[in-house]
Amino acid sequence: MARASRVFPALLLHINLLIVLFAGAMLATAARLKWDPSAYIPARELLPAEYRSAAWVLPATGLSLLLLAHLALTALSSRPAARRVMLIVYSSLMGVLVWCCVWWGMWISVRVSRWARGPTASDLNHALALQDDLHPLLQHLARFHPLPEKVHRLIQEADRDLPRNVYVLLASSAAVVVLQTTAAVVALGAALSAPPTPRRARRDNDVLAYSNTTTYTPLRNNGIRKLRLGARLPLAGAIGPEEETNGGRLLRLTTDVNHEPHAGITPAFFFIAPSASSRH
């Protein structure tokens, strides 16, 4: 359990680092879909509904991942009680986000598969098949102006890069889902494996003694007198190291009679002031 409480936070930090990288990629892709004509014109004309949904989902998911990464970092640097609560909240929100991303991905896949079997995709495939016939014409026109040759090169480049872009998109989507799921599981494990917070001593359950008596009996050799004791002191205790204060000594009770730490009890303090005779 102690080893798990150390491994889970370190693993969560590394996973969130990768999640932040993918969140930045999502924001960059959303920016391209918004302002890059080479990206948004084909998507908007061929798949308008999917384009509009991607324009909202990608930036929202990227910002959500960034906020959740900051929540995890804040949780790991907080007190144990707050850390446990924030890690559970992080795991829950990440699980909801994973479910939303998977649902949206399935919806996009179904819509694109239907579009690929529709008449619009058939017309597009027929138009792409004509590029081989256009190549001699573009070469002939390139004798008068270089623009047709550049157009032909762009068409060939797009034809080569389209399958690669699809593979990268699918691999990135799968990696994001796996990282989100792993982060939710690791955060939940870190919350459950954290050591329990020691409870403070309660007034009714702890064996405490209260001393409100005042004695003016001088101590041996030091010539000082005791003042009223107003601190809660365990019955079995021994006085720990002294700390100097203005005009007297501040003693702290830190151990029991066996000089072992008294678990769960705040150290008690009392003050011994010098007597009037010792001042002279």
Within a domain: 27? yes
- Token pair, residue 249, equals 């000594």
120-174 pLDDT, tens per residue? 777 767 766 666 667 677 776 777 777 767 776 777 777 777 788 888 889 999 9
Mean pLDDT of 253-273: 45
144-158 pLDDT, tens per residue? 777 767 776 777 777
Within a domain: 198? no
Of residues 198 and 163, more confidently modeled = 163
- Token pair, residue 236, equals 């079995």
The yes-or-no verdict on residue 24 having pLDDT over 80 is: yes
- Token pair, residue 124, equals 């597009």
Q: What share of the chain is helix, strand, coil (3-state, %, to 5)?
A: 65, 10, 25
Which candidate, 116, 106, 128, places its Cα nearest to that of 173?
106
In this structure, which amino acid lies at residue 227?
Answer: L
Which candidate, 234, 272, 224, places its Cα nearest to that of 256?
234
Of residues 7 and 58, more confidently modeled = 58
Which candidate, 83, 94, 99, 80, places its Cα nearest to that of 16?
94
What range defines the domain where residue 16 resides?
A: 3-118+173-193
Within a domain: 144? no
**Mean pLDDT value across the chain:** 73
Within a domain: 181? yes
Within a domain: 232? no
Within a domain: 67? yes
| Phi, psi for 114 (deg, rounded to 5) | -65, -40
Please count the structural domains in the chain: 1
The yes-or-no verdict on residue 211 having pLDDT over 60 is: no
Core vs surface per residue 191-210: b (16+ CB within 10 A) or e = bebbeeeeeebeeeeeebee
Within a domain: 60? yes
